Chain A
Amino acid sequence: MHEHTHQNAPNGEAYRKVTDDVLRPMQSYSLGWMAGVAFCAFLILVGAISEGYQLKYGMGMSGLMHPMMWAVYITNFVWWIGIAHSGTLISAFLFLFRAPFRAAFSRASEAMTLFAVMTAGLFPLIHLGRPWRAYWLMPYPNERMLWINFRSALVLDVFAVTTYFIVSTLFFWLGLIPDVAVVRDRSKGWKRTIYGLLSVGWEGRGKQWRHYWMAYSVLACLAAPLVVSVHSVVSWDFASAIVPGWHSTISAPYFVAGAILSGLAMVLTLLIPLRKNLALQEYITIDRMEQIAKLTLLMSMVVGYSYLSEHFMTLYGREPSDLADLWNKVRGTWASPFWAMNFCNVIAPLILFWRPARRNIPTLFVVSIIINIGMWLERFNIIAGSLARDYNPYAWAPTFYHFRPVEVGITLGSLGWFMFFFLLFTKFLPVLPIAELKRDILLEHREDIAIEEAHEHPRVPGGVKPAEATES
């Protein structure tokens, strides 16, 4: 990627180029970007009008009806939380493992996490029907001095998602500080004030780096298990109920795997246009995309294994209500979304076994969109599909779920809401971690030197190994 001699470390020019390349998109507003922002604002308006209509006329305007009292909104909540998963996962895990391809994805995926959690958080409020009562979920003595029930998975979910949002915000901001300081130094007027406040007076001094590195490492260590815990807790919203199709011990790892798959797919969906529109192909290379494609393929297979495992346990257990739920999905009124889900999440990603497909950007983009759709269908199958066949055959839903316009409008509004913030991010913040990219150039150089020395002195016992020479 970067040309340099093996005699001297890359000098200022290489580092200046990285800074200029990453900050260039922040200098102008393209017509396409403005059109994108305007379109997202329109979708938000559609969502707001739909929600206003639902608030005025009540939840009967949605398709929620007994027995499917959880459907589109909770599906959207779980889908967005799942998407939010991979951002911090990619960033934190790859940081802890010192993965060399982290820098290409970390910033955009952290931003994705933040905006996806912001979007997910809207849906429990929308689903409440009376969002002004949302504070009832907070631990305060409400009716007759009664506290919230800490044994409820729904309350645990409030703690998990709130923690995830705050920690992801801190992780994102901490990563931004050195880069935003550069933007501050190049800005004037109100922009200097905002970037100056965001960078808290960062100057890149040795003492600052030392404490920064420790804080960032600790946050990565804390965020990594948090990622796993949050979606496990989301899965317990369902698993702790006795509804057939929900009540399963596999739910937590199954949900985590699905969340990672959907997050990786969304990373691809966002980065493919981003790298082209911001001319960042030199940093987000085909090799890096292929690495994400391999991870996507791996997670797709884990998800496929989870599906098989869940169905096997149903068949093996032969519990009548579980079997009724399964047959309804396999060959009943829910067969279409069930098989579409399997195709999207398990069959279609198999094309990524083929190397040319992994390295073909349009193919990756199409696969990522298919997985995004498949993961939404998966959540819809689990949530509404399972409720359609409860224990009581008298209450079974005779038909498929009826989507209503307000649900479609609110869902489109959530897509606009998410993309609106992501587009603002691409224009007002560095989309790649500049300091980390520079560090990668330096470490790459040191590794080259170490390899050269190892070749020159192959028989020196205990000679310098590349790994020892490169990592600090």
Chain B
Amino acid sequence: MSELRGVVGYFDDPDALRAGIDHFNGIRGMRPEVYTPIPDMSAIYALNPSTSGVRWFSLVGGLSGIAAALAMTIWMSWDYPVIVGGKPITSLPPYLVVAFELMVLFGSIASVIGFLFMSRLPDLTPSDAYRPPMGVDRFALYLACSDETERGRAAGELLAAGATETVDIHHAGLGRLQVNQ
């Protein structure tokens, strides 16, 4: 038998999952990982109420976009100064359009990079606990453990939290893009 990694508890529906998360919020030292096919944010934030750090990536990206656009337009205009239509070399109104577009562009790209970085993605090797039904219709909490004592406690707590079934998770040793059946 391969190495024990943890225990997964399956719940009937999102409400049961939410109740299970509330159960673990009352237990110190036990932080389960949620697996859900639905973005039920009330449940997800119940487990980890802090706001995602992605927004800082967005802010920095957006500000970088503005700075890059203004630097580019102003510097390029002065690098070869040509008066067009009697306007000043630094004509801010049209440059602000470029600044807005690059703010959106850099902010969006930074948000996606932030999401990938904070979520530790891309990661093409599936985790030991993940099973395809978790993307479709199964709601689960996963507790990592390494020995039989911990396993027994984790399974007991998962059942007490309302799990209808618990399954031991062993190291699968899967390669990239393989699927745990």
A-B pairs with CB below 8 Å: how many?
A: 227
Q: Which of B91-99, B147-155, B165-173 contacts A (4 or more CB under 8 A)?
A: B91-99
Binary contact readout B55-70 vs A (1 if CB under 8 angstroms, 0 otherwise): 1001000100000000
Majority secondary structure of chain A interface residues (helix, strand, loop or mixed): helix
Residues of chain B within 8 A of A204, CB atoms compared: 35-37, 134-135
For chain B, the count of residues having a C-beta within 8 Å of the partner chain is 75
Residues of chain B within 8 A of A167, CB atoms compared: 104-105, 108
Whether, in the assembled complex, A459 has its beta carbon less than 8 Å from a beta carbon of chain B, the answer is no
Assign chain A's interface to a size class: 35 or more
Contact residue among A15, A156, A205, A209 (Cβ-Cβ distance under 8 Å from B41): A209
A218 CA to B40 CA, complexed, in Å: 18
Shortest B63–chain A CB gap in Å is 13
Whether, in the assembled complex, A32 has its beta carbon less than 8 Å from a beta carbon of chain B, the answer is no
Residue of B nearest to A470 (CB): B42
With most chain A CB atoms within 10 A of its CB, the pick from B51, B102, B121, B136 is B136
With most chain A CB atoms within 10 A of its CB, the pick from B40, B53, B72, B104 is B104
Asked if B48 and A201 sit within 8 Å, CB to CB, the answer is no
Q: Given known contacts A139-B72, A201-B125, is B114 in contact with A215 (CB within 8 Å)?
A: yes
A223 CA to B13 CA, complexed, in Å: 34
Whether, in the assembled complex, A182 has its beta carbon less than 8 Å from a beta carbon of chain B, the answer is yes
Residues of chain B within 8 A of A192, CB atoms compared: 177, 179
Residues of chain B within 8 A of A12, CB atoms compared: 12-13, 133, 136-138
Asked if B109 and A206 sit within 8 Å, CB to CB, the answer is no
Asked if A472 and B101 sit within 8 Å, CB to CB, the answer is no
Asked if B137 and A203 sit within 8 Å, CB to CB, the answer is no
* A-B contact list, 25 entries, CB within 8 Å: A9-B14, A15-B38, A150-B73, A150-B94, A151-B91, A159-B97, A160-B97, A163-B102, A163-B105, A174-B115, A181-B135, A182-B132, A192-B177, A202-B121, A203-B135, A206-B35, A207-B118, A208-B121, A209-B41, A211-B53, A214-B51, A215-B115, A219-B112, A435-B37, A472-B42
Residues in chain A within 8 A of chain B (CB atoms): 8-13, 15-16, 19, 139, 141, 144-153, 156, 159-160, 162-163, 166-167, 170-171, 174, 178, 181-182, 184-186, 192-193, 196-197, 200-215, 218-219, 222-223, 225-226, 229, 233, 435-436, 438-439, 442, 472
Residues in chain B within 8 A of chain A (CB atoms): 12-16, 33-45, 47-48, 51-55, 58, 62, 72-73, 76-77, 79-80, 82, 84-85, 87, 91, 94-95, 97-98, 100-102, 104-105, 107-109, 111-112, 114-116, 118-119, 121-127, 130, 132-138, 176-177, 179
